[in-house]
Structure 1
Amino acid sequence: MSHSYPTLAQMGITSFDNISRYQLRREGRADVLKIYYHRPKGSLLSRSKKFTFARPKSLGPMEFQKTEQWHQLEDTSPVLRQALCELHQLLGVDNPVEDSADNTKVQLLADLEHMERVMQSKLDELRRQIEALK
């Protein structure tokens, strides 16, 4: 099956049948692709893998870089684009363009909820450590 998804295989992904979804976001000057897997309860295998793709350095004038047109012109990694095409094929996504405001809002809300869970978990861990010191 790796011959069907050569870019994903090259990235180290082997369990194609277990991929449940993916998330793409931008962090600074990089695109971050996170692939999530279906895993049985109690599995020691990771539930996700994260890949970072650096964006090229800015070559345009500073005034132009602040415009929306600049952000649309910025090029993403060809490996990332090919991986996204393979993920769309693998997951059966009909429309690879997901730029609508609704999808963006849903994605931002999901990111916010994830961040809240991570922060709560870290706060609980710190509280346990403080209690252990008493």
Structure 2
Amino acid sequence: MTEHYSTLTQMGITSFDNISRYQLRREARADVLKIYYHRPKGSLLSRSKKFTFARPGSLGPMEFQKTEQWHRLEDTSPVLRQALLELHRLLGGETHSDEATLDTKQQLLADLEHMERVMQDKLDELRRQIEALK
């Protein structure tokens, strides 16, 4: 199976069957790919992995960087593009990167909700680990 997903394997991903979804978002100077896994309750394995792909700096003035055209630029890493193709193929054509179509307010609200979920999941995970030590 690793021969079908060579880019993901090079990124350190080995449990292809446990991948549940992925998310791609753009930050100021990087693209961030986050891969989520199915994990059983009580598992100490991480539920996600995050990969950051830097983009070339200074592609345009700051005013342009805030426009929709900026977010559609094809300046992503070739490794990221290949990883996305492999993830798309692995998950049967499902895509989870619809956030690119949201307007700015919706994007900020989605980011806020995502951060709240991440923080709550991390707090729950730490509590489970503390309980396991007792």
Q: Which structure 2 residues correspond to residues 45-84 of structure 1 after superposition, within 5 A?
A: 45-60=45-60, 64-65=64-65, 67-84=67-84
1:94/1:35 Cα in 2 relative to 1: closer, same or farther (>3 Å)? closer
Q: Which structure 2 residues correspond to residues 1-134 of structure 1 after superposition, within 5 A?
A: 1-60=1-60, 64-65=64-65, 67-93=67-93, 98=98, 99-101=100-102, 105=106, 109-117=109-117, 118=119
2:61 and 2:46 map into 1 onto residues whose CA distance is 43
Contact 2:23 2:96 in 1 (8 A): no
Contact 2:34 2:49 in 1 (8 A): yes
Residue 114 of structure 1 aligns to a residue whose secondary structure is helix
Q: CA deviation at 1:66?
A: 5.3
1:94/1:32 Cα in 2 relative to 1: closer, same or farther (>3 Å)? closer
* Unaligned stretches of 5+ residues in structure 1: 126-134
The Cα offsets for residues 83-121 of structure 1, whole Å up to 9 and x where unpaired, read as 00100000012579845449xx5x7655322322427x7
TM-score by length of 1: 0.71
TM-score by length of 2: 0.71
Contact 2:25 2:33 in 1 (8 A): yes
* Unaligned stretches of 5+ residues in structure 2: 127-134
1:93 and 1:58 map into 2 onto residues whose CA distance is 33
Residue 23 of structure 1 aligns to a residue whose secondary structure is strand
Report how many aligned residue pairs link the two structures: 120
Over the matched positions of the two proteins, sequence identity in percent amounts to 79
| RMSD value, Cα | 3.2
The residue aligned with 1:128 is: none
Contact 1:88 1:96 in 2 (8 A): no
Residue 4 of structure 1 aligns to a residue whose secondary structure is coil
Structure with greater Cα Rg:
1
1:41 and 1:91 map into 2 onto residues whose CA distance is 22
The higher relative CO (CA closer than 8 Å, separation ≥ 6) is in: 2
